[in-house]
């Protein structure tokens, strides 16, 4: 496919905005649309193609906005619907596409549908939009089955009249019943609402969870995870979910303009993931196997090969992702044990060059371009993640507000003199990691991302396409070529390796040691034609 004929998303670099933590213009310590708008020049300069904005809809914020009370309005914390429309327009003026987050698995417990369900009788049409069931046991005092919430504890909560409702996440996030046609109709209308506002795509939250076995059978012991792999798990990755996405595909195609659907689907391997992007369905899916992979040459190569082989069969492009708002930041993941952030950072720099050289699209999670790590010392009383309350495990450490400038918190996240504190505390050490301090430093993470994205945009070998592994690469070195004339080498071994003769280094993640590539370093090479 010629570059001009390919849909933009086949090779897009998408930057994830976790709105609460990106930039705060109102001064309340929580990021907002006006803050994001003011930082568009930064994103433009970074060189990304699109932004994905995590949920900005009206929400009681029991799960950072993944509990939506009104899908057609913006939460006042973030701004207004007019602000959102203005932002979409401003992004488009700068050539940045906008992907919004669609949350179809559950609503907020404050959504008017759920309020109506609570007010209605058991067996009513209002209740049938969710999963209400009588309990088990003599007086219905036991939950309808043994399903567990993803955040910990039972997946069922009892309401005053004795029925129970299903929530695979927090109790404030009741699961919708997608077997009820009213639910599908409502989401058609929500998709149209945002397509009419010219969004370029949707990230589908919990895309693997929408369909449930209508019998709601007990889970067999140890079958609680996504890892079923057969399409018949009672609530994860059931084959029937694909019909929903085929319907959305048809709907979006009527709008024209290459609208993107990207699935958040935690499934058992590349084969299962390929189903989401098979012809007539969604366009791409986050490649969590890459994110979950250890810093190990053999494992990375296996994931890359498996990804390209299985997705290749569907015609969909691969995506590559290292971090997001749900997982420990990758610098910390790569820091090893005992944790060594210098080592983690070195590997993260090499990983960025690896990711951006692979065929397909890539996702950058805000702050990874600043070299931010997981904040692991947030005091328990300041934790906001509902998962912390339900299981003691928190995702707040990767959601800390970004440091933009200055020497002390809020580091330009909120306006000077706002008097508020950021909604999660920022480490003092981030004074050396602000965007402004990195801007003038050629060795900074920010400059590495800027340069690599600039090269990626202009180099004809990068983006969509294939790769060929170098058969002569030394042990524990990933080396692959992309045509025309490009090679990426990543040294995951413990000793420095020679670079091929006659190649120009166009970018390296660390200084070359006498022309050799040090351990945990990556280089991009231009090969002689």
Nearer to ligand GLC, 103 or 492 (CB): 103
What Å distances lie between residue 395 and 109, 327, 329, 385, CA to CA? 22, 7, 10, 6
Q: Which of 205, 369, 374, 520 is catalytic?
A: 205
Instruction: Please report how close the Cβ of residue 94 comes to ligand GLC at its closest, in angstroms.
Output: 26
Judged by CB under 6 A, the chain residues 44 through 73 that form the site for ligand GLC are 63, 66
Instruction: Please report how close the Cβ of residue 156 comes to ligand GLC at its closest, in angstroms.
Output: 17
Residue 505 tokens read as 């280094």
Instruction: Please report how close the Cβ of residue 448 comes to ligand GLC at its closest, in angstroms.
Output: 27
- Number of shown-chain residues binding ligand GLC (CB under 6 A): 9
Active site residue 205: yes
Q: DSSP for 127-181, please give it.
A: GGGB-EE--BSTTS-B-SS--B-TTSSBSEEE-TTS-EEE-SS-TTSPBB-TTSH
Nearer to ligand GLC, 20 or 346 (CB): 20
| CA nearest to 348, candidates 148, 145, 490 | 490
* Site mask for ligand GLC (CB under 6 A), range 253-292, x = bound: -----------x----------------------------
Does 206 engage in binding with ligand GLC (CB under 6 A)? yes
Measured CA to CA, the distance from residue 447 to residue 124 in angstroms comes to 58
How does strand 486-491 pair with strand 477-482?
antiparallel
- How far is residue 346 CA from its own chain's centroid? 23
* Site mask for ligand GLC (CB under 6 A), range 138-177, x = bound: -------------------------------x--------
Instruction: Please report how close the Cβ of residue 385 comes to ligand GLC at its closest, in angstroms.
Output: 8
Nearer to ligand GLC, 397 or 410 (CB): 397
Nearer to ligand GLC, 11 or 237 (CB): 237
Instruction: Please report how close the Cβ of residue 391 comes to ligand GLC at its closest, in angstroms.
Output: 12
Does 205 engage in binding with ligand GLC (CB under 6 A)? yes
Active site residue 226: no
* Site mask for ligand GLC (CB under 6 A), range 314-353, x = bound: -----------xx---------------------------
Does 295 engage in binding with ligand GLC (CB under 6 A)? no
Nearer to ligand GLC, 49 or 63 (CB): 63
Q: DSSP for 9-65, please give it.
A: GGS-EEEEE-GGGT--SSSSSS--HHHHHHTHHHHHHHT-SEEEEPP-EE---TTTT
Measured CA to CA, the distance from residue 45 to residue 435 in angstroms comes to 12
Nearer to ligand GLC, 66 or 365 (CB): 66
Q: Is 417 left (phi over 0), alpha (psi -120 to 50) or beta?
A: left
Judged by CB under 6 A, the chain residues 79 through 108 that form the site for ligand GLC are 103
Confirm if 51 and 14 have CB atoms less than 8 A apart.
yes
Instruction: Please report how close the Cβ of residue 150 comes to ligand GLC at its closest, in angstroms.
Output: 7
Q: Which of 11, 264, 368, 385 is catalytic?
A: 264
Measured CA to CA, the distance from residue 378 to residue 470 in angstroms comes to 44
Instruction: Please report how close the Cβ of residue 365 comes to ligand GLC at its closest, in angstroms.
Output: 11
Closest-by-Cβ residue to ligand GLC is: 66
Residue 472 tokens read as 């002569």
Does 237 engage in binding with ligand GLC (CB under 6 A)? no
| CA nearest to 355, candidates 3, 13, 7 | 13
The set of catalytic residues is: 205, 264
Residues that bind ligand GLC (CB under 6 A): 63, 66, 103, 169, 205-206, 264, 325-326
């Amino acid at each position: 496919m010629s570059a001009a004929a390919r849909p933009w998303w086949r090779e897009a670099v998408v930057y994830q905005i976790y709105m609460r933590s990106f930039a705060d213009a109102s001064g309340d310590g929580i990021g907002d649309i006006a803050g994001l708008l003011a930082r568009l020049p930064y994103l433009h300069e970074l060189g990304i193609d699109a932004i994905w904005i995590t949920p900005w809809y009206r929400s009681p914020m029991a799960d950072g906005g993944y509990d939506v009370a009104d899908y057609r309005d913006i939460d006042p914390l973030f701004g207004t619907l007019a602000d959102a429309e203005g932002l979409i327009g401003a992004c488009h003026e700068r050539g940045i596409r906008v992907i919004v987050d669609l949350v179809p698995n559950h609503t907020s417990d404050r959504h008017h549908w759920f309020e109506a369900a609570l007010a209605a009788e058991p067996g009513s049409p209002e209740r049938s939009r969710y999963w209400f069931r009588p309990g088990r046991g003599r007086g219905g005092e036991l939950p309808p089955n043994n399903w567990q919430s993803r955040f910990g504890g039972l997946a069922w909560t009892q309401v005053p009249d004795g029925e129970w409702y299903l929530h695979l996440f927090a109790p404030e996030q009741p699961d919708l019943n997608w077997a009820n046609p009213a639910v599908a109709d409502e989401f058609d209308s929500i998709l149209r609402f945002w397509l009419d506002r010219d969004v370029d795509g949707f990230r589908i939250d919990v895309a693997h969870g929408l369909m449930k076995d209508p019998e709601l059978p007990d889970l067999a012991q140890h079958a609680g995870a996504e890892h079923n792999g057969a399409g018949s798990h009672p609530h994860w990755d059931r084959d029937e979910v694909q019909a929903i996405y085929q319907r959305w595909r048809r709907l979006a195609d009527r709008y024209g303009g290459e609208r993107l659907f990207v699935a958040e689907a935690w499934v058992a391997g590349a084969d299962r993931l390929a189903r989401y992007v098979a012809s007539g369905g969604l366009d791409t899916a986050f490649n969590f196997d890459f994110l979950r992979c250890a810093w190990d040459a053999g494992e990375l190569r296996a994931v890359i090969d498996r990804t390209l082989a299985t997705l290749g069969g569907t015609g969909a492009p691969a995506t590559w992702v290292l971090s997001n708002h749900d997982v420990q930041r990758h610098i910390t993941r790569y820091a090893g044990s005992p944790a060594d952030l210098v080592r983690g950072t070195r590997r993260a720099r090499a990983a960025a060059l690896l990711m951006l050289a692979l065929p397909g699209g890539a996702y950058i999670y805000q702050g990874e371009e600043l070299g931010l790590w997981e904040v692991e010392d947030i005091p328990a009383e300041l934790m906001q993640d509902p998962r912390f309350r339900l299981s003691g495990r928190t995702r707040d450490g990767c959601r800390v507000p970004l440091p933009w400038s200055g020497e002390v918190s809020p580091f330009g996240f909120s306006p000077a003199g706002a008097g508020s504190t950021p909604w999660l505390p920022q480490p003092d050490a981030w004074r050396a990691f602000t965007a402004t301090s990195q801007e003038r430093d050629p060795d900074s993470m920010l400059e590495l991302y800027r340069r690599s994205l600039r090269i990626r945009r202009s180099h004809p070998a990068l983006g969509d396409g294939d790769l060929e592994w170098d058969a002569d690469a030394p042990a524990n070195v990933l080396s692959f070529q992309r045509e025309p004339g490009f090679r990426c080498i990543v040294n995951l071994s413990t000793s420095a390796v020679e670079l091929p003769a006659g190649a120009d280094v166009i970018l390296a993640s660390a200084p070359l040691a006498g022309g050799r590539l040090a351990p945990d370093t990556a280089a991009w090479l231009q090969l002689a034609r």
